[in-house]
Structure 1
């Protein structure tokens, strides 16, 4: 039996269907974390790379998730070791997204046992489309899907 695969990313592509774009971090789905609202998971994730509250706010208030990402990459990251924190931060963001938006939670659960793959053609860590890529975003979403199945 062939494994079902759902590709997702920030916008539809040849492999990404419009109805699966919601799985991506650029999807507009405001989340509330520690009393602060972020327009997207991407805004939250990128802002957490910094300890400086002014930089966090600048990224949080970016007009689009693409701008938030660009700002974070242009600025110098704080001295703390981001590589040890990034998955925990991402888990926090996607948990908020899929527990604060019932419709998105139901859509994620409806993916059943399908393999979720971020169709990034440049990210070897979060993406899953390039040879040797780790698909960590897809894996975190599948872990969350399993977690949500077991929640009341």
Structure 2
């Protein structure tokens, strides 16, 4: 059975990029994954001045609004970069916070789906035909953490014998 998530106050809300789980990445603390993600759109562009503004805003909703403003154009390669940027941020979030890492691992092998009616790239869209890239990233991160966990506590993963 799939796990659908979206709002931070709902079950599995910690899977949302808006959840208040700070990350330290590329030498800076970011309040949420959403803050970091939205700022990365403008790296190496004429709009870099907005990056510290996004960094400082109080909510992920404000960060998203600044990042989605149509007067600023993201880096020309953003569509190529965005999935990897998101993956690094999500991995950092779940490695950093043990409480939500445990929640992610508790999902076993269940399908994770961002239940966004409007987003057909990161979520499933209104008709559930979306690409669900955030869910796919979370499942990939879940698997990576599973593989890293035995190493981080000094236990060898016997199924990966040389």
TM over 0.5: yes
Aligned to 1:70: 65
Output the aligned Cα RMSD.
1.4
Aligned to 2:114: 118
Looking at structure 1, the residues matched to 122 and 74 of structure 2 have their Cα atoms a distance apart, in angstroms, of 21
Once the two structures are superposed, residues 114-148 of structure 1 have per-residue CA deviations (whole angstroms, 9 ceiling, x without a partner) of 11010101001000143321011101100111111
Looking at structure 2, the residues matched to 11 and 36 of structure 1 have their Cα atoms a distance apart, in angstroms, of 23
SS of residue paired to 2:123? coil
Match of 1:21 among 13, 16, 21: 13
Match of 1:148 among 145, 149, 161: 145
TM-score by length of 2: 0.84
Match of 2:103 among 104, 107, 117: 107
Match of 1:58 among 38, 49, 53: 53
Aligned to 2:159: none
Moved more, 32-41 or 126-135: 126-135
Looking at structure 2, the residues matched to 78 and 137 of structure 1 have their Cα atoms a distance apart, in angstroms, of 20
Tell me the number of residue pairs that the alignment of Structure 1 and Structure 2 aligns.
144
Per-residue deviation, 1:88: 0.6
Change (3 A) 1:79 1:53: closer
Looking at structure 1, the residues matched to 23 and 75 of structure 2 have their Cα atoms a distance apart, in angstroms, of 27
Unaligned runs of 5+ in 1: 13-17
Query: Are the aligned partners of 1:31 and 1:100 in contact in 2 as well (CA < 8 Å)?
Result: yes
Query: Are the aligned partners of 2:119 and 2:130 in contact in 1 as well (CA < 8 Å)?
Result: yes
Looking at structure 2, the residues matched to 79 and 53 of structure 1 have their Cα atoms a distance apart, in angstroms, of 10
Query: Are the aligned partners of 1:10 and 1:25 in contact in 2 as well (CA < 8 Å)?
Result: no
Aligned to 1:44: 36
Change (3 A) 1:79 1:106: closer
SS of residue paired to 2:4? strand
- Larger Cα Rg: Structure 1 or Structure 2? 2
Query: Are the aligned partners of 2:112 and 2:138 in contact in 1 as well (CA < 8 Å)?
Result: yes
Query: Are the aligned partners of 2:5 and 2:11 in contact in 1 as well (CA < 8 Å)?
Result: no
